Amino acid sequence: MAKTKKINNKSNYKVSIFSSKTLKKVLSNYKKKQEQKKIKEIKLKKIAENNQILKEKKELRSLEEKLSKENDKLRIREEEIKLKEKELKLKEDQQKIENKRLIKKDEDLGLIDKDLRLKEKELKQKAEEQFRKDIDLKAREEEQNKKEIKEKRKKEKYLKEIMIQEEEKNKLEAMKLKEWEEQFDREQKMKEHREFLKDERLKQRENKELVSNDTNLGSELSSKLESFDVDKSSEH
């Protein structure tokens, strides 16, 4: 039994050694295979990763291009939006300016309308005042015309009286002038007659001195002259 145990132990030991070596070898081969597999997997993985990277790069490039295009579109869109916003703001500013202008215009029109109403009121008042003045003026003109007609008639009557007086005065003056002229003529004739008589007397004296014999003639002439003087004195 003891020998059998020893044999069995030896067999077991050998089997154990063999098994251990085999196991080590198997394990080693397995490890190698696992390592190779792992390396292969790593390589495949790396290849796959590289392919994936390439694919991703390609996709990324495509995506970048797409994004770039999208960005360009977005940029253009943003510019368009900005331009539209600018145009809209400009329109809004213009609209504000136009609204302010319209408000100002409405205010101005309101002031103009108010001013026009005041002017219309003033014109109406002036027209009414002018109407009253015209009526008053017409009444005064009629009154003045009546006064002028009355004054004219009075003046005409006065002038007529003056003319009558002047005519009478002229007639009287004409009569006086005629009388004066007649008186002047008479006096002139008397003066001329006296001058004549004076001359005659001188002549008579001269004749008396020259012709002493003609006494009777001188006396008779002297008596005639005296009688003529008496007649003239009686006329005066």
pTM of the prediction? 0.30
Beta-carbon contacts of residue 185 (< 8 Å; ≥ 6 apart) = none
> Quick one: how far is CA 14 from the chain centroid?
136
Report the range of poorest mean pLDDT among 49-53, 91-95, 96-100: 49-53
Report the 10 Å Cβ neighbour count for 49. Answer: 12
Report the length, in residues, of the chain: 236
How many angstroms separate the CA atoms of 6 and 13, rounded? Answer: 10
The pLDDT of residue 91 is above 70:
yes
**pLDDT tens digits for range 202-224:** 877 777 777 665 555 556 556 65
pLDDT of residue 11: 53
Distances (CA, A) of 74 to 23, 88, 174: 68, 20, 133
Report the 10 Å Cβ neighbour count for 222. Answer: 14
Tokens of 61: 């490039």
**pLDDT tens digits for range 1-24:** 544 544 455 555 454 555 667 777
Q: Are 189 and 232 in contact (CB under 8 A)?
A: no
Helices assigned H by DSSP within the chain: 2-210, 215-235
> Quick one: how far is CA 71 from the chain centroid?
60
**pLDDT tens digits for range 34-52:** 777 777 777 777 777 777 7
- Rounded to the nearest 5°, which phi and psi values hold at 211? -120, 100
Distances (CA, A) of 97 to 84, 89, 92, 93: 19, 12, 8, 6
How many angstroms separate the CA atoms of 34 and 31, rounded? Answer: 5
Which DSSP state fits 114? H
